[in-house]
C-alpha cells in the first residue's frame, strides 16, 4: 500500500484498502475555525443534536474574522464561544493565544504522523507536512464528525510527486508547489491524494514542508503528504507530544500510484501565479514591468517565522517603495513573538511596513489588507481568484516571501537577485 492507503486502512480498522473503496474512518482531530464552526453550530442545532461524542478530539481555532472586524463577525465569534463553553470543548484557541489553525495545531502538538485529521477549512491539507492525512471538509461533514467521531471517505488514487536537484538562491517551497500547479493545473489532483518524495522534499525544513502541503488544495487534492522523518520528530518533540512514540509508517516498496511526476529544481527560478488562478504560473523574470500597489506577507501558506526571516533579509536597511504599502501578518502568536525577539518586526517597521496581529483576514478578502479595483498585490497567500482579496478587478500575484519583499522595495514585480543581499552561510 501507499502511505495514503495505509492511513485510511488504519483508521477504518482494515488490513488494507484500495482506491475507490468507500470506508468509514475514525478521525483523530476534528478541526474547525470561527467561520466553519459557526455554520456547523447552526446545522448541529437544526438537526436536533445535543451532544458531541468526543469533545476532546475537537480543536476550534479562531482565525478568519478575529480580532472581530465588525458587529456581525463579533456576533459570529460570540456564538462559537458560547457553544464551546456549553459543550466543554477544551481545545479552544482564542485570538491572542494562537493564530491560523494550520500553523498553530502542528506547533502545539495536535498533529501526529499517520493521523487522520478532518478540518472545516480547505487548507487542512497542510497537516500532510507532518506525515498525516489532513482533509478539508464542509460544515455538515464537520457536524457528522462531531456526533459520530467518524466520517466516510472514498479512498483516492494517489499521485507521487518527486522533486530532485538543488534549488537556486531565492527558490523556496512556494516555487516548488507553484511549479506543480503550472504543470498539473488546478484540477490536476482532483479527487486524488498526493505523496511527495525526493531529496529536495527531504531537504526542506518544517516551514517549507507546510507550504508545499498547503497548496495541494489548489491542485484539487484530497490530501498531500510528506512522510515523517527525524525533522518531523524533532519538531513534534518541541510540543506537548514530547516523548510520544510515533507511527512512522511509509509507503511499501511495491506501492501503487496512479502516476509519478518528477520535477528537476536545478534550473528553476522563483515562480509567480498571475491573476486569476493559482495555476496561471510563469517565471518571475517574465513580469518585470508590472507595478505593485500592495505587498502582503502572511497566511497559512507563508506566514511562519521562517518566511518572515526571508522577507526581513531583503528589507534590512531598505525602504518600502513610496507607491507601495506593505503588510506583514505573522501566522501565529509564536511566529509574531519570534519575529519581535529576532528583530524582524523592527526591520519591517523601519522599512515602512505595517505589521498586524495574526489573522487569516486579508487572504480571504475579510479585512486587514483588502485590495481595490485594478490594484496589484504581490501576496505570499494561496489564491488569486477574482474577488479573493478584495475587489473583483484587483490583481493578485502569488509568490514566495523573497519575491514579495523584493517587489515591495522596487515597486514592481522583482526577482530578489536584483536586491543586493550578502550571502550568509
Partner 1 sequence: MSKTIKGKIWKFKDNINTDVIIPGRYCHLTDLNELAKHCMEDDDPDFAKKVSSGDILLAGDNFGCGSSRELAPITLKAAGLSCVIAKSFARIFYRNSINIGFPIVECTQAYDDASVGDTFEIDFKSGTVTNTTKKKNYKIVPFPDFIEQIVKSGGLLKCKDLLSQ
Interface mask toward partner 1 for 307-336; x: CB under 8 A:
------------------------------
| Sign, CA torsion 357/362/368/371 | positive
Interface mask toward partner 1 for 191-230; x: CB under 8 A:
x-------------------------x--x-x--------
Q: Does 137 bind partner 1 (CB under 8 A)?
A: yes
User: Which of 5, 9, 19, 36 lies at the binding interface for partner 1 (CB under 8 A)?
Assistant: 36
Q: Does 73 bind partner 1 (CB under 8 A)?
A: yes
Q: Does 42 bind partner 1 (CB under 8 A)?
A: yes
Integer-rounded Cα radius of gyration of the chain: 21
Q: Calculate the alpha carbon distances from 394 to 274, 291, 292, 324, 387 in Å.
A: 11, 13, 11, 15, 7
CA-CA distance, 34 to 25, in Å (whole number)? Answer: 25
Q: Identify the H or E element spanning 259.
A: strand 259-264
How many alpha carbons fall within 13 Å on the CB side of residue 401? 29
Pair type for strands 22-26 and 150-154: antiparallel
Q: How far is the CB of 383 from partner 1 (least distance, A)?
A: 6
Q: How far is the CB of 84 from partner 1 (least distance, A)?
A: 18
Q: How far is the CB of 378 from partner 1 (least distance, A)?
A: 19
Task: Give the interface segment with partner 1, choosing from 70-78, 246-254, 267-275, 295-303 (CB under 8 A).
Answer: 70-78
Cis peptide upstream of residue 286 (ω within 30 degrees of 0): no
Cell 522596487 sits at which residue?
Answer: 410
> Could you tell me the three cell numbers for 327?
503588510
Torsion angle of the four alpha carbons 337, 343, 346, 348, in this order, in degrees rounded to the nearest 10? -80
Q: How far is the CB of 195 from partner 1 (least distance, A)?
A: 17
> Could you tell me the three cell numbers for 381?
497567500
Q: Does 346 bind partner 1 (CB under 8 A)?
A: no
Q: Identify the H or E element spanning 25.
A: strand 22-26
User: Which of 168, 386, 410, 411 lies at the binding interface for partner 1 (CB under 8 A)?
Assistant: 386
> Could you tell me the three cell numbers for 189?
489532483
Q: Does 372 bind partner 1 (CB under 8 A)?
A: no
| Cβ nearer to partner 1, comparing 300 with 409 | 300
Interface mask toward partner 1 for 139-178; x: CB under 8 A:
xxx-xx--xx-x-x-x------------------------
DSSP class of residue 24 equals E
User: Which of 55, 122, 290, 316 lies at the binding interface for partner 1 (CB under 8 A)?
Assistant: 122
Q: How far is the CB of 155 from partner 1 (least distance, A)?
A: 12
Q: Does 82 bind partner 1 (CB under 8 A)?
A: no
Q: How far is the CB of 359 from partner 1 (least distance, A)?
A: 13
Contact 363, 331 (CB under 8 A): no
Can you name the residues that pair with 297 across neighbouring β-strands?
328
Q: Contact residues for partner 1 (CB under 8 A)? A: 22, 24, 35-36, 38-39, 42-43, 47, 64-65, 72-73, 76, 119-122, 124, 136-141, 143-144, 147-148, 150, 152, 154, 186-187, 190-191, 217, 220, 222, 277, 364-366, 370, 383, 385-388, 390, 392
Amino acid at each position: 500500500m501507499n502511505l495514503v492507503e495505509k492511513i485510511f486502512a488504519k483508521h477504518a480498522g482494515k488490513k488494507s484498502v484500495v482506491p475507490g473503496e468507500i470506508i468509514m474512518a475514525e478521525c483523530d482531530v476534528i478541526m474547525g475555525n470561527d467561520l466553519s464552526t459557526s455554520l456547523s453550530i447552526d446545522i448541529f442545532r437544526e438537526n436536533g443534536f445535543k451532544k458531541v461524542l468526543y469533545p476532546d478530539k475537537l480543536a476550534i481555532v479562531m482565525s478568519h474574522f478575529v480580532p472581530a472586524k465588525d458587529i456581525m463577525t463579533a456576533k459570529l465569534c460570540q456564538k462559537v464561544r458560547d457553544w464551546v463553553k456549553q459543550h466543554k470543548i477544551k481545545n479552544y484557541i482564542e485570538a491572542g493565544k494562537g493564530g491560523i489553525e494550520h500553523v498553530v495545531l502542528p506547533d502545539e502538538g495536535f498533529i501526529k504522523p499517520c493521523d487522520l485529521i478532518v478540518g472545516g477549512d480547505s487548507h487542512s491539507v497542510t497537516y500532510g507536512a507532518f506525515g498525516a492525512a489532513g482533509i478539508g471538509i464542509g460544515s455538515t461533514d464537520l457536524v457528522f464528525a462531531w456526533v459520530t467521531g467518524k466520517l466516510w471517505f472514498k479512498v483516492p488514487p494517489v499521485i507521487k510527486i518527486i522533486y530532485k536537484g538543488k534549488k537556486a538562491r531565492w527558490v523556496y517551497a512556494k516555487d516548488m508547489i507553484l511549479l506543480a500547479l503550472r504543470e498539473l493545473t488546478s484540477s490536476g489532483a482532483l479527487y486524488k491524494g498526493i505523496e511527495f518524495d525526493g531529496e529536495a522534499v527531504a531537504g526542506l525544513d518544517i516551514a517549507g514542508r507546510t507550504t508545499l502541503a498547503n497548496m495541494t488544495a489548489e491542485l484539487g487534492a484530497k490530501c498531500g503528504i510528506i512522510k515523517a522523518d527525524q525533522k518531523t520528530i524533532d519538531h513534534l518533540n518541541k510540543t506537548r507530544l514530547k516523548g510520544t512514540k510515533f507511527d512512522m509508517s511509509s509507503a511499501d516498496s511495491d506501492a501503487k500510484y496512479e502516476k509519478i511526476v518528477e520535477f528537476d529544481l536545478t534550473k528553476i527560478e522563483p515562480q509567480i501565479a498571475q491573476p486569476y488562478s493559482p495555476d496561471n504560473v510563469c517565471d518571475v523574470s517574465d513580469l518585470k514591468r508590472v507595478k505593485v500597489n500592495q505587498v502582503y506577507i502572511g497566511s497559512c501558506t507563508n506566514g511562519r517565522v521562517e518566511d518572515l526571516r526571508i522577507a526581513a533579509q531583503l528589507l534590512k536597511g531598505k525602504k518600502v517603495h513610496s507607491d507601495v504599502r506593505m503588510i506583514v501578518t505573522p501566522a501565529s502568536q509564536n511566529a509574531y513573538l519570534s519575529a519581535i525577539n529576532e528583530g524582524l518586526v523592527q526591520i519591517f517597521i523601519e522599512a515602512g511596513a505595517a505589521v498586524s496581529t495574526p489573522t487569516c483576514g486579508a487572504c480571504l478578502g475579510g479585512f486587514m489588507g483588502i485590495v481595490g479595483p485594478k490594484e496589484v498585490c504581490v501576496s505570499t497567500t494561496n489564491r488569486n481568484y477574482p474577488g479573493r482579496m478584495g475587489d473583483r478587478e484587483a490583481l493578485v500575484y502569488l509568490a514566495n516571501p523573497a519575491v514579495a519583499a523584493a517587489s515591495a522595495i522596487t515597486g514592481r514585480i522583482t526577482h530578489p537577485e536584483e536586491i543586493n543581499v550578502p550571502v550568509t552561510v
